[in-house]
Amino acid sequence: MFPAKHYPFKKLHGAGNDFIIMHAPVEPLTNKFIEMLCHRNFGIGADGLILISKGEKVDFKMDYYNADGYGGSMCGNGGRAAAVFAFLELNAKKNMQFEAIDGLHQAEIIQALEGSFDVKISMNDITDFDLNEDRLIVNTGSPHYVKRCDNLAGLDLINTATPIRYDKNISEEGVNVNFMERTNGEIYLRTYEKGVENETLACGTGATAAAIAAALWYDIPTAKIHSKGGDLEVNFKREGQKFTDVWLRGPVQFVFEGSVNLDQKQSFAAF
């Protein structure tokens, strides 16, 4: 039993993109409280929070919140981690369906071994994007800007990405910014995530956007995306400018579990 106001959670990461995952509490959490939970000094620490609840005619429903406490978009690695949570906590089968803000997704636990998982989820079809010779703007469940880069390792990502992230000519709500480099036929990616307002070790919707960019620029039929936190694989069927049957695959790791005080009357100096 957990103490009063304490609530169980699991911490998981998908290629270094880390999440706090728990059953959705009865009392809604405020944006500031979610921000505190995700804070790496004052809270548990994570790129985002995922709340799991029952869905209609699906195995579960996921609500995703960025580290700033706000939702509004799909998280690809979060969806893969949520599938593992459902497998562990809800006795979901290895093949399952879940609902997210952008609609329904299929998920498959391909391998489960002592806290390490190989997981893939379906992503939405992609038929609408803005492409030129060195950048792609596309929504893969979350809005992304992908730009070609010749020196990814030496890139000052934060200072280079920040003006693009807030450019209202690209998106009124802001955009995730990705820099992609092709070296010896391999695709390398770094992502600045809005809502986290920092570089993340991997980004699932960003990897999906990069795979679409690689297909359009280099005619690559399937892509392994190398990120700082690990590799993600994106597969799809392509017919001209239309991408269907899109799947995102990669590792998910259980990190730890515990309980957290959900008393939102707590006061923290930084919040």
**203 noted as active-site residue:** yes
Catalytic residue selected from 83, 149, 203, 223? 203
User: How far is Cα 246 from Cα 207, in angstroms, rounded to an integer?
Assistant: 12
Q: What is residue 152's DSSP assignment?
A: T
Which neighbouring-strand residues pair with 244? 237
Q: In sequence order, what DSSP letters do the residues of 154-208 get, joined into one string? A: T--HHHHHHHHHT-TTT-TT--EEEEEEEETTEEEEEEEETTTTEEES--HHHHH
Contacts 24+ apart (CB under 8 A), 83-86: 83/107, 83/108, 83/109, 83/119, 83/121, 83/252, 84/12, 84/109, 84/117, 84/119, 84/252, 84/254, 85/10, 85/12, 85/21, 85/50, 85/52, 86/52, 86/59, 86/60
Q: Are 227 and 213 in contact (CB under 8 A)?
A: no
- Give the burial string for 66-85 (b: 16+ CB within 10 Å, else e): bbbbebebbbbbbbbbbbbb
Catalytic residue selected from 12, 21, 75, 146? 75
SS3 259: strand
Q: Which residues are known catalytic residues?
A: 75, 203
